Chain A
Amino acid sequence: MHALVGENGAGKSTLMKILYGMQRPDEGTIRIDGQQVALHSPADAIARGIGMVHQHFMLADNLTVLENTVLGAERLHGIGGRARRRIAELSDAYGLGIRADALVEDLGVADRQRVEILKALYRGARTLILDEPTAVLVPQEVDTLFDNLRELKSEGLTVVFISHKLGEVLSVADAITVIRRGTTVASLLPHETSPRELAELMVGSELPSAETRESTVTEEPMLRVAGLRLSATDPDGAVRDVLDGISFTIHKGEVLGIAGVEGNGQAELVEAVMGMSAPSGGTLTLDGEDITHTPTRRRREAGIGHIPEDRHRHGLLLDAPLWENRILGHVTERPNTKGRFLGVRGAPELLDLGGARRDADRVVAEYDVRTPGIEVTAASLSGGNQQKFIVGREMSHHPKLLIAAHPTRGVDVGAQAQIWDQIRAARREGLAVLLISADLDELIGLSDTLRVMYRGRLVADADPATVTPEELGSAMTGAADGHLAADPSPHGTPPDGDPADDDPPDDAPSDEVTVEDVPLDEVPLDGTSSDGGSSDAGPSDAGPANGASSDGGPSDGGAGSGTAGAGEQGSGASDSGTSGSGASDSGASGSGASGPGTSDSGASDSGDGGAA
């Protein structure tokens, strides 16, 4: 299992496209099984046993799993009983748990992903390429996916996957290649490296942290949503509420995070707040003004900024040059407009093309958008750079309320840090943010208040200072609701209190389970986020100590199989640091569990834990 990591625009997707025959290399060779090949089309690649699982699934919603699988591969096993048997065989062999007759539209994200994997296997793939497979999954689903992938690996398949989440890369990959700006900068083995080293190789800088240090929440409400309801007619003609009884208030300087599995009404909530769909009930108040029936453009002028979930659909005109995209959404605002023709009322409003160009240049420079110029089309930029441009555009108009839907999806650690910094900086100046994200660490780290959305309702709330990704995860799947209070006994998440109150040695055994449960994919966010824990643990050098634990952990893991678990715990320790709770606690458990074998690195660790 080979992991490919790198910044946005580093060339990961291009490399994948070349491997899948969608693009031709200018020079260089590709060898499969020692044999040099030239791939001219995806069909070539499939014939050579390469299968691809795209980040955006390529499935027909209105067909069944069976139909989707055989589509385009009818010649292999027909479309009837033989195909069905083959699917059942594959599904059993790799533990995919596929129901061949289910309609794809009824399947969840994780199931769809398995269908994509099945499709590739059905076509005889021996090498499976996965493009950011975990970006859309909740922690529990990630674990299942990796179980499936290990199964494939044990059957002799090769898996190549792209990821931004260094923790998961370290935990599952057998080899890691780091790409930066189009060239390989390092080839590593996971036990030889650490998240910190990987991140530095990727961006040449420190790991970012979603952690928000001081609270800037004020008493002044900015956006008040009361009893919001939205009905929609689904394809069968039945009317149902996609949003029901949504009420919340975001104050100036507050970040309200909405957690939830995608498709539970988040997109509809954004549309309702943006004014793209008219609510069936409830009111929206922005800065004391009723905007329930205000058109989108007026809302934008009133100060709502929007970082859309799907930047290609809602955020950019892909065929238009970058400077025209600077105008999009802010066509009535300076510097994009010169006012009315000759200043006459009712005359057409004029665009200020020069102003828009100049400001596009400024956005490109200030937000580090990597592009040869502003005359290139938005489509020729890589995803992360497109996102940086959108963030820059929206922030340039000093919004009062920012709706940020997955602001760092598909964005590398460097850009991620930058975007978080910008949100944080604006928040200090009184910006209210509605944050919707599938990245639980981002949610926990950035938010001042957390709500969980499930089937169009806000079913649970949580304090980001105490909640763990697992707790959020279970509320997201509808398994928990109400206030997600810290529950010390079964899951060992101590309350927000002074960690000195907890007794690390006693907790250590019970904590072991919890710590191992912590999904490792969150690690990239956390390397420095353990500082959050440090504020709990006391002003001493707990922060550096936690840093040491995440460094020391994986290298312990390399020392022998017996300590591999300890290695995971080591990184897991800093992980729960994001939640701002129990950092010293789990840190101590990590070092406790690793035992004498790790005394070299663990010593300082537990020493500090003890000090706390």
Chain B
Amino acid sequence: MSRLGEKFTKEKVLLALAAPLLALVAAFLLSSVVIAATGKDPLHAFVVMIDFGSKSDSQVWIINKAIPYYLSAAAVAIGFRMNLFNIGVDGQYRVAAFFAAVVGGALSLPGVLQIPVIILTAMAVGAVWAGIAGVLKTTRGVSEVITTIMLNSIAGSLIGYFLSEDRLAVKDGNLFHTPNLPASGHFFTIPTDPKPVYGTVLIAVVIGLAYWFVLGRTRFGFDLRAVGRSEPAAAASGVSVRRMVVTSMLLSGAVAGLVGMPTLLNESFNYGTDFPAGVGFTGIAIALLGRNHPLGMAFSALLWGFLERTGIQLEFEEYAQEIVGVMQGVIVLSVVIAYEIVRRYGLRIQQRRVGAELAAEARTGEKAEVGA
């Protein structure tokens, strides 16, 4: 059997497809039950969602919404691949976006410089914010779950402190926000009908490719995954686990710093009290849903956007507004459970096959012996 054949046997493909299918069917059924329990017609709800979600303005909305979701998921996934739970992407991207907005608002450079300066500021701030957790973990042994969630709160307070008129913000009606970016700080958009797609989608694509390449194809990525799979084995193989923890937290934070960029550079052009929050937590769900896979996370980010977009329409049709949240939760749970079931099943089959092949080998061996 050729190597390709070995990698893509029918059974493997089936197993790979089984998990997402199982998850989707389960999520569909469970959501239907919930909708039916509220006394509404579940089938009609799905028809409305598909109908509304496939309109062209919905599609643009979904793509634009999915960009920060994807970046956030990538940031979380870097931690996941190394068995670190960076729950603080939320704080990291808000602090990063805030300081990037301040720097961008204060400078007035040509676009080729202005935009990279803003982006690099965001990445650096995000990395520093996450790096604090990494350093605390390696030097003091504090769990990154605790530190990153604490740093989320601190991030909120820090931004609140600076976001006032006498410090770094301007007042605009009831809202405070940082000074607007000059036009040179506006990222390009891709003209589509009726509204344009944000050009920052390119950043997401680049991050996705880099994620795939660095983790799957480089020594660094192998070391990172090795630490994630087994810390003692990685240490014995020559990886400095402490350095790896700090490096991956810095990387995760740098990517988290990008999460605010689509909003800042394509939409709001400033950081205000109405800047979207909570995207970091959405990223956790999307990373789980996408199994930390660059393409999987892209699909789940889009799915998330789709659910949010169509949820608005469901409300008009007098469905409970919480129904979308329920669906999102059900999908994540179904996916996690379905993958685990399929993984165990696959492992059992694999082990049984190892046994069967060895037994077959033994039989032919014995025949040969008899023959000889």
B244 → A minimal CB distance (Å): 12
Residues 366-392 of chain A: 1 if any B CB is under 8 Å from the residue's CB, otherwise 0? Answer: 000011110111011100000000000
Residue numbers in A under 8 Å from B226 (CB-CB): 317, 328
B232 nearest in chain A by CB position: A313
Is A329 on the interface with B (CB-CB < 8 A)? yes
Which chain B positions have C-beta within 8 A of A375? 6-7
* Assembly CA distance A63 to B347 (angstroms): 35
B258 CB → nearest A CB, Å: 20
Most buried by B among A315, A328, A349: A328
Q: Tell me whether A276 and B218 are in contact in the complex, defined as CB-CB below 8 angstroms, given that A370-B358, A377-B347 are known contacts.
A: no
Are A373 and B6 in contact, CB atoms less than 8 angstroms apart? yes
Q: Residues of B contacting A357 with CB < 8 Å? A: 3
Give the docked Cα–Cα distance between A180 and B359 (Å).
9
B318 interfacial contact with A, CB 8 Å: no
Q: Are A297 and B354 in contact (CB under 8 A)?
A: no
Q: Which of A276, A315, A327, A377 contacts B222 (CB 8 A)?
A: A327
Query: Which of chain B's residues have a CB closer than 8 A to the CB of A353?
Result: 217
Closest CB-CB distance, B9 to chain A, in whole Å? 9
In the bound complex, CA of A300 to CA of B237 (Å)? 8
* Contact, CB under 8 Å: B350 / A376: yes
Contact A314 B232 (CB under 8 A): yes
In the assembled complex, the Cα of A376 lies from the Cα of B355 at a distance in Å of: 13
Q: A296-B236, A348-B214 are in contact. Are A9 and B358 (CB under 8 A)?
A: yes
State how many angstroms separate the Cβ of A249 from the closest Cβ of chain B. Answer: 24
- The contact of B238 among A182, A295, A341, A373, by CB within 8 Å, is A295
Which residues of chain A are within 8 angstroms of B3 by Cβ–Cβ distance? 357
Chain A, residues 11-28, CB within 8 Å of chain B (1/0): the string is 100100000000000100
Question: Which residues of the other chain, A, contact B229 by a CB distance below 8 angstroms?
Answer: 317-320
6 smallest CB-CB distances across A and B, nearest first, come from A297-B238, A181-B362, A329-B237, A349-B219, A314-B236, A296-B238
Complex contact B369–A204 (CB within 8 A)? yes
Asked if A350 is an interface residue, CB under 8 A from chain B, the answer is: yes
Q: Do residues A380 and B354 form an inter-chain contact, with CB atoms below 8 A?
A: yes
Assess the A182–B237 pair: CB atoms within 8 A. no
Q: Do the beta carbons of A315 and B239 come within 8 Å of each other?
A: no
The 0/1 profile, CB within 8 Å of A marked 1, for residues 216-235 of chain B is: 11111111011001101111
B354 touches A331 (CB 8 A): no
* CB of A87 to closest CB in B, whole Å: 35
Is the CB of B192 closer than 8 A to any CB of chain A? Answer: no
Quick check: is B153 within 8 A (CB to CB) of the other chain? no
Q: Which residue of B219, B237, B355 has the most chain A CB atoms within 10 A of its CB atom?
A: B237
Once the chains bind, are B362 and A183 in contact (CB under 8 Å)? Answer: yes
Q: Is the CB of B233 within 8 A of A313?
A: yes
A216 within 8 A of B: no
- In the assembled complex, 7 residue pairs joining A and B whose CB atoms fall closer than 8 Å, in A order, are A26-B352, A296-B238, A313-B230, A324-B222, A328-B233, A330-B237, A331-B222
Q: Is the CB–CB distance between B217 and A350 below 8 Å?
A: yes
Per-residue interface assignment for chain B, residues 339 to 372, with 1 indicating a CB less than 8 Å from any chain A CB and 0 otherwise: 0000000010011111101110110000001000
Report the Cα distance A308→B238, complex, angstroms.
13
Instruction: Give A341 to B128 CA distance when docked, in angstroms.
Output: 27
CA distance A372 to B355 in the complex (A): 9
Measured in the bound complex, the distance between the Cα atoms of B358 and A48 in whole Å is: 32
Is A160 part of the binding interface, using a Cβ–Cβ cutoff of 8 Å? no
State the CA gap A479–B239 with chains docked (Å).
40
A164 within 8 A of B: no
Given contacts A182-B358, A357-B3, contact A276 B350 (CB under 8 A): no
Q: Which residues of A contact B225 (CB under 8 A)?
A: 320
The size of the chain A interface, using a CB distance under 8 A, is 52
Interface residues of A (CB under 8 A from B): 9, 11, 14, 26, 180-183, 204, 274, 276, 295-300, 306, 308, 313-320, 324, 327-332, 337, 341, 348-351, 353, 357, 370-373, 375-377, 379-381
Given known A295-B240, A329-B238, A351-B219, contact A182–B7 (CB-CB < 8 A):
no
Find out whether the CB atom of B355 lies under 8 angstroms from the CB atom of A14: yes
Question: Which residues of B are found within 8 Å of A14, using beta-carbon distances?
Answer: 355
B347 and A296 contact, CB distance less than 8 A: no
The answer to whether B358 and A181 have CB atoms under 8 Å apart is: yes
What residues of A have a CB within 8 angstroms of the CB of B214 in the complex?
348
Q: A317-B229, A320-B225, A372-B350 are known; give 10 further A-B pairs, CB within 8 A.
A: A295-B240, A313-B232, A314-B232, A348-B219, A351-B218, A351-B221, A353-B217, A377-B347, A380-B351, A381-B354
How far does the Cβ of A230 sit from chain B's closest Cβ, in whole Å?
16
Residue from the list A296, A318, A348, A349 in contact with B235, Cβ < 8 A: A296
Looking at the assembled complex, report how far the CB atom of B287 sits from the nearest CB atom of chain A, in whole angstroms. 18
Name the contact of A274 in the complex, choosing from B230, B233, B236, B351 (C-beta under 8 A).
Answer: B236
B81 to chain A, nearest CB (A): 12
User: Quick check: B235 and A317 within 8 Å, CB to CB?
Assistant: no
Q: A337-B219, A350-B218 are in contact. Are A182 and B359 (CB under 8 A)?
A: yes
A315–B234 CA distance with the chains assembled, in angstroms:
9
The distance from the CB of B246 to the nearest CB of chain A, in whole angstroms, is 15
Contact A351 B217 (CB under 8 A): yes
Q: How far is the CA of A180 from the CA of B365 in the complex (A)?
A: 12
With A348-B220, A353-B217 in contact, do A328 and B354 touch (Cβ < 8 Å)? no
Q: How far is the CA of A181 from the CA of B236 in the complex (A)?
A: 32
Interface centre among B217, B223, B233 (most CB of A within 10 A): B233
Give Cα distance in the complex from A295 to B237, angstroms: 11
**Which residue of chain B has the shortest Cβ distance to A341 in the bound complex?**
B218
Which residues from chain A contact B220 at a C-beta distance below 8 Å?
348-349
User: Please, which residue of chain B has its CB at the minimum distance from the CB of A328?
Assistant: B237
Nearest A residue (CB) for B362: A181
Rounded to whole angstroms, the CA-CA distance of A337 and B219 in the bound complex is: 8
Residues of B within 8 A of A328 (CB): 226, 233-234, 237
Q: From A371, which residue of chain B is reached at the shortest CB distance?
A: B354
- Nearest B residue to A327 by beta-carbon distance? B222
How far apart are the CA atoms of A9 and B240 in the complex, in Å?
34
Given that A317-B230, A380-B347 are known contacts, is A276 also in contact with B236, CB under 8 Å in the complex?
yes
B236 contacts which of A298, A306, A320, A349 (Cβ < 8 Å)?
A306
Instruction: Please report the C-alpha to C-alpha distance between residue A526 and residue B277 in the assembled complex, in whole angstroms.
Output: 72
- Considering the complex, give the chain A residue whose CB is closest to the CB of B222: A331
Chain A residue nearest to B230 in the complex (CB):
A317
Q: B354 contacts which chain A residues (CB < 8 A)?
A: 370-372, 376, 380-381
Give Cα distance in the complex from A330 to B226, angstroms: 12
Q: Which residue of B lies closest to A180 (CB)?
A: B362
Q: Residue of B at shortest CB range from A356?
A: B222
Q: Please indicate the chain A residues that have their CB under 8 angstroms from the CB of B357 in the complex.
A: 372
**When the two chains form their complex, are residues A300 and B219 in contact, meaning their CB atoms are under 8 A apart?**
no
CB atoms of B350 and A377 under 8 A apart: yes
- Whether A182 contacts B362 by the Cβ 8 Å rule is yes
